[in-house]
């Protein structure tokens, strides 16, 4: 069958870029959940007629559109807060998007084209290969090169009935539904007539959808105690002033003024690096705050940089959290943001441009076996900024926790889509683990999220204020909280192996060209 013109040449490459960008509409702040499904369907159609080599570049174009539109906030961070010029910030952002496309989306397309060619026209194997490979490459983004688990398709389903699968499969299970739905839709468009395999796939899709309704009524976790009243402080301190040496006292006075009417709360939370000075230098101040919190039977949790020896005895910096007053414990961040908190190849890059010398960009990685923070008798799973986007990290830390706590400084994102995407991912973590989540940020979006992933309350961006609300400590554990992503990944690994074995039995590559009847019959003209 001849290829349609829109599947060939530069027009197809441009369409692939547009299809990738289209999928970003499924994430916050847009929340048009069908768009990732349509985007996946377009990718399925655009890849269908291609050889593996051609698919590699088609996938790269799609990835460029996806990351170019979906991570545009990186430009804001580099230009507005990294002091890079407009051309340099644009170039660095473009290089990042190209890198992500070449590392993750292009190899997916190449692997899919390889399997599809070997399927000899088997629609079920093509559909399974597309969906499984897409999710496996999404999962690889959650850990490879420290991970960048942004723009995972499953987040687009947070406000749909299918979100009830998240406590079972995690966000990657929802991604499987999106990618599989897109492949099914693409195959319906491509096929001249419905096939039994296509009808079977659609039936499976409907069964998964119907099963989401009883899952929505499943209570994976239960109340562990009475509700707690929390006060989340959003100081809205300008990023350019935050780390100025002469501004520290003014910053602390601002935080204290906001906190003053709220010492009656059970837990007060200040955001990431709210105290912009090293913990050991602020011990007298922390003792004063702690005494005030003890007098009011309050736990005060605050972000603060920590300077202490690592396992080798060398004194290093950590991005940290401390809990004082009725609370106790320190936490040192485990998942660091490249360039924002550490500089890869810093011996080569330090000093080249201001972006590589951002304040506090020399943090070390905290150990993975840290105890949870305490707030009175309750245990809090502490997560700093970027860490909330790692599903398995949150599941591991949340298993023994009563509440999930995340603090952030989304000022780096500016007035972009970044803070909205970040909040959407935090909502998914609450849903996956069946826990209330409290989120305090410097200038938004500060929020309280229930165990179903729904927003209870939030503060407007870029406005100083305090968010009050009630949260309930929870006990019990969801299937995802217990096992993380591994059951799904193992299942997908076996599914991919079955697809590979099935393609091998079909006898090699298939042609997309339908031979004329005379040739099929073996006659010559």
Is there a contact between 362 and 342 (Cβ–Cβ < 8 Å)? yes
Domain match, 194 and 272 both: no
For residues 123, 25, 70, 108, the Cα torsion angle rounded to the nearest 10 degrees is: 0
pLDDT score of 517 = 40
| Distance, CA of 84 to CA of 76 (rounded, Å) | 10
Q: Tell me which of 23 and 309 has the higher pLDDT.
A: 23
Q: Tell me which of 354 and 238 has the higher pLDDT.
A: 238
| Distance, CA of 341 to CA of 364 (rounded, Å) | 8
**Structural domains of the chain, count:** 2
pLDDT score of 6 = 63
Is there a contact between 119 and 160 (Cβ–Cβ < 8 Å)? no
Tell me if residue 385 is catalytic.
Answer: yes
Q: Which domain holds residue 450?
A: 221-477
Domain match, 201 and 55 both: yes
- Specify if 454 maps to a domain: yes
Q: Tell me which of 497 and 290 has the higher pLDDT.
A: 290
Statement: residue 426 has pLDDT above 90: yes
pTM given for the model: 0.91
Task: Find how far residue 323's CA is from the centre of its chain.
Answer: 26
Q: Tell me which of 196 and 96 has the higher pLDDT.
A: 96
pLDDT score of 5 = 58
Domain match, 77 and 168 both: yes
- Token pair for 446: 């500060």
CATH number at residue 267: 3.60.110.10
SS3 (DSSP) at 81: helix
Domain match, 262 and 176 both: no
Mean of the pLDDT values across residues 457-469? 96
Peptide bond just before 300 cis, omega within 30 deg: no
CA distances from 88 to 64, 174, 282, 330 (A): 18, 37, 38, 38
Catalytic option among 187, 272, 341, 432 = 272
Domain match, 102 and 214 both: yes
Is there a contact between 290 and 272 (Cβ–Cβ < 8 Å)? no
User: Cβ contacts of residue 436 below 8 Å, gap of 6+?
Assistant: 403, 404, 430, 448, 449, 450, 451, 471, 472, 473, 474
Domain match, 263 and 164 both: no
CA distances from 456 to 169, 303, 398, 467 (A): 24, 23, 20, 11
- Specify if 521 maps to a domain: no
Name the residue among 135, 113, 139, 137 with its Cα closest to residue 125. Answer: 113
- Specify if 65 maps to a domain: yes
Name the residue among 303, 286, 422 with its Cα closest to residue 363. Answer: 303
- Specify if 48 maps to a domain: yes
Q: Which of 106-120, 406-420, 458-472 has the highest mean pLDDT?
A: 458-472
Domain match, 374 and 284 both: yes
User: Cβ contacts of residue 98 below 8 Å, gap of 6+?
Assistant: 60, 64
Is there a contact between 114 and 75 (Cβ–Cβ < 8 Å)? no
3-state helix, strand, coil in the chain (%, to 5): 55, 15, 30
The number of residues making up the chain comes to 525
Is there a contact between 220 and 478 (Cβ–Cβ < 8 Å)? yes
Catalytic option among 97, 111, 119, 385 = 385
Q: Band of the pLDDT at 80, cuts 50, 70, 90?
A: confident
Beta bridge partners of 330: 322
| Distance, CA of 80 to CA of 62 (rounded, Å) | 28
Give the Cβ contact number of residue 160 at 10 Å. Answer: 14
Q: What is the DSSP letter of 275?
A: S
CA 92-93-97 angle, to 5 degrees, is 115
For the stretch 188-214, pLDDT in tens is 888 866 677 677 778 888 888 899 999
Domain match, 469 and 497 both: no
| Distance, CA of 355 to CA of 106 (rounded, Å) | 29
Is there a contact between 391 and 378 (Cβ–Cβ < 8 Å)? no
Domain match, 23 and 100 both: yes
CA distances from 15 to 33, 177, 435, 484 (A): 20, 23, 41, 36
Tell me if residue 272 is catalytic.
Answer: yes
Task: Find how far residue 246's CA is from the centre of its chain.
Answer: 36
- Specify if 164 maps to a domain: yes
For the stretch 123-146, pLDDT in tens is 788 889 999 999 999 999 999 988
- The phi, psi pair for 228, rounded to 5°, reads -110, 145
- Specify if 524 maps to a domain: no
Give the CA count within 13 Å in the CB-facing half-sphere of 269. Answer: 32
pLDDT score of 311 = 72
Name the residue among 293, 297, 301 with its Cα closest to residue 439. Answer: 301
Catalytic option among 119, 242, 333, 432 = 333
For the stretch 44-67, pLDDT in tens is 999 988 999 999 999 999 999 999
Tell me if residue 452 is catalytic.
Answer: no
Chain position carrying tokens 């959650």: 142
- Specify if 330 maps to a domain: yes
Peptide bond just before 29 cis, omega within 30 deg: yes
pLDDT score of 516 = 40
Domain match, 134 and 188 both: yes
pLDDT score of 215 = 93
Catalogue the E-assigned strands of 189-256: 221-223, 228-234
Q: What is the DSSP letter of 354?
A: G
Beta bridge partners of 379: 374
Domain match, 202 and 255 both: no
For the stretch 214-259, pLDDT in tens is 999 999 999 998 999 999 999 999 887 888 878 999 999 999 999 9
| Distance, CA of 49 to CA of 52 (rounded, Å) | 10
Q: Tell me which of 522 and 22 has the higher pLDDT.
A: 22
Name the residue among 469, 467, 437 with its Cα closest to residue 452. Answer: 437
- Specify if 151 maps to a domain: yes
Domain match, 14 and 129 both: yes
Statement: residue 525 has pLDDT above 50: no
């Amino acid at each position: 069958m001849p290829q349609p013109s829109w599947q060939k040449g530069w027009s197809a490459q441009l369409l692939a870029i547009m299809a990738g960008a289209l999928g970003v509409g499924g994430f916050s702040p847009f929340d048009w959940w069908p768009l990732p499904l349509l985007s996946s369907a377009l990718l399925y159609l655009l890849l269908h007629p291609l050889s593996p080599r051609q698919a590699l570049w088609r996938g790269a174009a799609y990835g460029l559109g996806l990351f170019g539109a979906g991570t545009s906030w990186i430009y804001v961070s580099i230009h507005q807060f990294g002091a890079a010029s407009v051309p340099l910030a644009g170039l660095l952002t473009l290089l990042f998007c190209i890198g992500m496309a070449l590392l993750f989306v292009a190899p997916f397309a190449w692997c899919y084209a390889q399997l599809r060619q070997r399927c000899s026209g088997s629609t079920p194997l093509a559909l399974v290969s597309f969906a499984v490979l897409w999710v496996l490459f999404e999962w690889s983004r959650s850990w490879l090169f420290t991970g960048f688990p942004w723009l995972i398709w499953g987040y687009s389903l947070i406000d749909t009935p299918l979100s009830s699968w998240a406590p079972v499969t995690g966000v990657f299970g929802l991604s499987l539904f999106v990618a599989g739905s897109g492949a099914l839709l693409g195959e319906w468009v491509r096929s001249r007539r419905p096939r039994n395999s296509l009808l079977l796939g659609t039936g499976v899709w409907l069964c998964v959808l119907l099963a989401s309704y009883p899952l929505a009524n499943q209570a994976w976790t239960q109340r562990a105690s009475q509700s707690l009243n929390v006060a989340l402080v959003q100081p809205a301190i300008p990023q350019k002033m935050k780390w100025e040496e002469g501004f520290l006292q003014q910053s602390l006075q601002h935080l204290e003024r906001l906190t003053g009417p709220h010492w009656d709360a059970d837990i007060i939370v200040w955001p990431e690096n709210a105290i912009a000075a090293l913990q050991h230098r602020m011990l007298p101040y922390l003792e004063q705050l702690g005494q005030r919190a003890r007098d009011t039977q309050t736990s005060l949790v605050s972000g603060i940089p920590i300077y202490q020896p690592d396992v080798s005895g060398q004194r290093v910096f950590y991005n940290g959290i401390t809990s004082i007053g009725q609370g106790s414990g320190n936490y040192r961040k485990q998942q660091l943001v490249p360039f924002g908190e550490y500089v890869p190849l810093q011996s080569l890059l330090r000093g080249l441009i201001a972006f590589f010398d951002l304040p506090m960009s020399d943090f070390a990685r905290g150990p993975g076996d840290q105890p949870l923070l305490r707030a009175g008798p309750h245990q809090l799973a502490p997560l700093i900024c970027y860490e909330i986007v790692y599903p398995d990290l949150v599941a591991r830390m949340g298993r023994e926790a009563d509440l999930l706590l995340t603090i952030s400084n989304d000022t780096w994102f500016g007035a972009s889509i970044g803070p909205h995407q970040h909040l959407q991912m935090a909502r998914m973590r609450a849903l996956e683990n069946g826990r209330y989540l409290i989120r305090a940020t410097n200038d938004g979006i500060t929020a309280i999220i229930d165990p179903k992933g729904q927003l209870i309350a939030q503060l407007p961006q870029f406005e100083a204020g305090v968010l009050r609300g009630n949260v309930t400590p929870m006990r019990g554990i969801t299937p995802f909280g217990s096992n993380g992503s591994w059951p799904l990944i193992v299942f997908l690994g076996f599914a991919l192996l079955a697809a590979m074995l099935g393609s091998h039995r079909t006898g090699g590559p298939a042609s997309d060209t339908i031979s004329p009847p005379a040739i099929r019959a073996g006659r010559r003209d």
